């Protein structure tokens, strides 16, 4: 088998020898990732803690005692909990119904139901809120005007500026959490569990109550808690709907504490109370989800029984279409209609125009800057987050570095931090630093990467798990250095997962409002902040145009990530016996 030319080149010179313990590129990259994570997450959190106990003279718990006794703060806490509870309940009802319909019944048009959940999840919640104010604001809302002034049906009017309105727009964003977890659980319960109960004589109802129910309950509860956590953290809808209704919640109260003069200590203390609620809920959620493991273990290739609903399936479909209309058709068609109107009202169709788009794209430099800033920030943040996530996932799964699990936990912490709390923590930290970051694009970038690092770490982790270490080791033994192995083997193999992670970060960043609202300056204004500010100042029609631009960017990002991610590669990777 020897070719004479070849043999000489084959044996690597002994110079390649190097000792493992020397500092190598591998160590530099890993060290860099660890430092990044500490600066992004750990240090800001520590300064939030410090800020909350720093009084005028030395340490004190004054801020906490004021936050826990002051009427303003208790009221905000109460409102947040009420909002979270109602949202959780309705998310449970809607999400579970749709999940059950899709996974366990013969309801028609299942793709429509799935589409409803996906699009609702991806829609920026503050845009839904704005769209609903166009329809249901008490005086000028289109439907209210129609009912009251044209049809004379005053009892059919609805005031969006109320707790009910706030719950409505929030639920449209949060029910997909229950839907996603419940449908995956319902689909993974092996049909044989249910068949075993039925052969023993259990009726369908009895089987559902005593077998299926307990098996999927943890996932459903877990989804409900996620809905709760996400609901109370949404600054946008709570500012847009809640503030006119004088319903102040935790995010809007924290926001108010930054009115001049800013109350950093109180904001920190209130943020920590907020974090505590979130963390308790997330802890319960993980505990519930952990109990679910026995479902997924058994459930590969199962074929769940589909219930024959008869005529009732049309009722179920009607319910689903209702959700589809409220959560997607109504807000989107409203935003489209408003964006092309000269002035929004009952006869808006008489004056259709492109002026709003022209205004925000070509005439108004604030919105131009906002669009550019957001595009740059989202691209940079998702790229950095994905690379950082890949390295952190790699450290966790492929090395024996002590403390790597701790690193993994650090990377998950931001899941428990509402956006506005991230902003408060970053402000506290960077104001104390000698670098002037406040009000720059850089601090927004730090906020976005820090806030969404859990998503990219999870995506990288999941795809690295699919790559058996032996694939890397076999490159290594052939003589490939760490960098070559990464470039030739690991990165190409996890590329689809990284693109998915990139998208997972890009989409929320392009619509991020909760943290941006405290961190922006006139030069670093972002898309979502511009929408909010325009809305606050009453430029209703341009707002809708800007909202549409936002949606177009999100759609383009999804398409791009799909295109680059390469589906053929995914298929090939899955088919090969990578995970024997």
Positions that interact with other proteins (CB under 8 A):
1-3, 5-7, 9-12, 14, 16-21, 468, 470-471, 473-481, 484, 488-489, 492-493, 569, 572-573, 575-580
Structure tokens at 540: 């209703």
Cross-strand bridge partners of residue 54: 59
DSSP state of 292: T
Kindly tell me which of 35 and 483 has the beta carbon lying closer to other proteins.
Answer: 483
Kindly tell me which of 17 and 365 has the beta carbon lying closer to other proteins.
Answer: 17
For residues 302 and 188, the answer to whether their CB atoms sit within 8 Å is yes
Cα three-residue angle 278-237-135, rounded to 5 degrees? 150
CA distance 336 to 356: 11
**What values do phi and psi take at 244, rounded to 5?**
-60, -25
Quickly tell me which residue has 């160590």 as its tokens: 27
Q: Which of 558, 557, 538, 535 is nearest to 546 (CA)?
A: 535
Length of the chain: 580
Kindly tell me which of 4 and 57 has the beta carbon lying closer to other proteins.
Answer: 4
559-577 exposure pattern, b = at least 16 Cβ within 10 A, e = fewer: eebeeebeeeebeebeeee
Q: Smallest distance, Å, CB 566 to other proteins?
A: 10
CB-facing half-sphere around the CA of 482: CA atoms within 13 A: 14
Kindly tell me which of 18 and 71 has the beta carbon lying closer to other proteins.
Answer: 18
Kindly tell me which of 348 and 482 has the beta carbon lying closer to other proteins.
Answer: 482
Q: Smallest distance, Å, CB 410 to other proteins?
A: 21
Cis peptide before 443 (omega within 30 of 0): no
Kindly tell me which of 213 and 479 has the beta carbon lying closer to other proteins.
Answer: 479
CA distance 378 to 388: 15
Quickly tell me which residue has 């002034």 as its tokens: 149
CA distance 442 to 437: 6
* Cβ-Cβ contacts under 8 Å for 183 (sequence gap 6 or more): 98, 99, 102, 103
CA distance 408 to 337: 46
DSSP, residue by residue, 426-453:
HHHHHHHSSS--TTSHHHHHHHHHHHHH
Kindly tell me which of 21 and 303 has the beta carbon lying closer to other proteins.
Answer: 21
Kindly tell me which of 377 and 475 has the beta carbon lying closer to other proteins.
Answer: 475
Structure tokens at 356: 């709003």
Give residue 413's Cα distance to chain centre.
14
Kindly tell me which of 471 and 560 has the beta carbon lying closer to other proteins.
Answer: 471
For residues 323 and 174, the answer to whether their CB atoms sit within 8 Å is no
Structure tokens at 48: 């939030």
Kindly tell me which of 365 and 579 has the beta carbon lying closer to other proteins.
Answer: 579
Q: Smallest distance, Å, CB 21 to other proteins?
A: 7
For residues 188 and 259, the answer to whether their CB atoms sit within 8 Å is no
């Amino acid at each position: 088998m020897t070719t004479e030319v070849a043999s000489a080149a084959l044996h690597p010179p002994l110079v390649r020898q190097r000792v493992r313990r020397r500092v190598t590129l591998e160590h530099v990259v890993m060290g860099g990732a660890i430092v990044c994570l500490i600066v992004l997450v750990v240090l800001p959190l520590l300064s939030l803690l410090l800020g909350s106990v720093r009084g005028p003279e030395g340490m004190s718990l004054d801020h906490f005692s004021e936050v826990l006794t002051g009427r303003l703060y208790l009221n905000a806490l109460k409102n947040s909990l009420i909002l979270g509870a109602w949202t959780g309940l309705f998310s449970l009802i809607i999400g579970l119904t749709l999940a059950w319909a899709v996974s366990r019944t013969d309801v028609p048009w299942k793709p429509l139901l799935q589409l409803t959940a996906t699009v609702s999840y991806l829609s920026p919640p503050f845009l839904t809120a704005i769209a609903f104010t166009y329809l249901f604001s008490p005086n000028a809302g289109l439907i209210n005007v129609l009912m009251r002034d044209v049809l004379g049906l005053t009892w059919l009017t609805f005031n969006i500026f109320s707790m009910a309105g706030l719950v409505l727009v929030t639920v449209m964003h949060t029910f997909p959490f229950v839907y996603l977890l419940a449908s995956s659980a319902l689909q993974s319960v092996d049909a044989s569990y249910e068949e075993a109960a039925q052969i023993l004589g259990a009726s369908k109802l009895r089987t559902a109550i005593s077998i299926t129910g307990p098996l999927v309950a943890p996932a459903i509860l877990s989804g409900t808690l996620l809905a709760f956590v996400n609901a109370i953290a949404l600054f946008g809808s709570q500012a847009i709907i809640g503030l006119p209704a004088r319903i102040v919640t935790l995010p809007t109260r924290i926001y108010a504490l930054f009115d001049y003069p800013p109350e950093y200590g109180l904001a920190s203390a209130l943020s920590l109370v907020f974090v505590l609620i979130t963390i308790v809920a997330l802890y319960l959620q993980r505990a519930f989800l952990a109990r679910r493991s026995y479902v997924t273990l058994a459930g590969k290739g199962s074929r769940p029984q589909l219930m024959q609903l008869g005529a009732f399936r049309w009722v179920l479909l009607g319910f689903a279409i209702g959700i589809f209309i409220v959560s997607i058709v109504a807000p989107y068609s409203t935003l489209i209609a408003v964006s092309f109107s000269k002035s929004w009202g009952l006869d808006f169709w008489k004056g259709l125009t492109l002026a709003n788009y022209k205004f925000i794209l070509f005439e108004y430099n604030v919105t131009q800057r906002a669009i550019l800033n957001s595009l740059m920030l989202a691209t940079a943040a998702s790229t950095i987050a994905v690379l950082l996530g890949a390295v952190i996932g790699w450290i966790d799964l492929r090395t024996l570095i002590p403390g790597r699990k701790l690193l993994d936990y650090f990377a998950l912490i931001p899941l428990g931090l509402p956006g506005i709390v991230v902003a408060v923590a970053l402000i506290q930290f960077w104001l104390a630093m000698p670098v002037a970051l406040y009000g720059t694009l850089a601090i927004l970038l730090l906020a976005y990467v820090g806030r969404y690092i859990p998503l990219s770490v999870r995506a990288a982790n999941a795809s690295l798990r699919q790559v058996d270490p032996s694939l890397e080791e076999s490159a290594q033994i052939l003589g490939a250095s760490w960098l070559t192995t990464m470039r030739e083997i690991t990165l190409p193999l996890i590329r689809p997962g990284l693109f998915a992670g990139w998208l997972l970060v890009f989409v929320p960043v392009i619509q991020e409002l909760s943290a941006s609202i405290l961190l922006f300056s006139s030069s670093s204004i972002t898309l979502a902040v511009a929408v909010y500010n325009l809305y606050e100042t009453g430029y209703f029609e341009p707002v809708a145009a800007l909202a549409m631009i936002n949606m177009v960017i999100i759609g383009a990002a999804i398409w791009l990530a799909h295109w680059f991610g390469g589906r053929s590669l995914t298929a090939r990777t899955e088919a090969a016996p990578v995970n024997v």
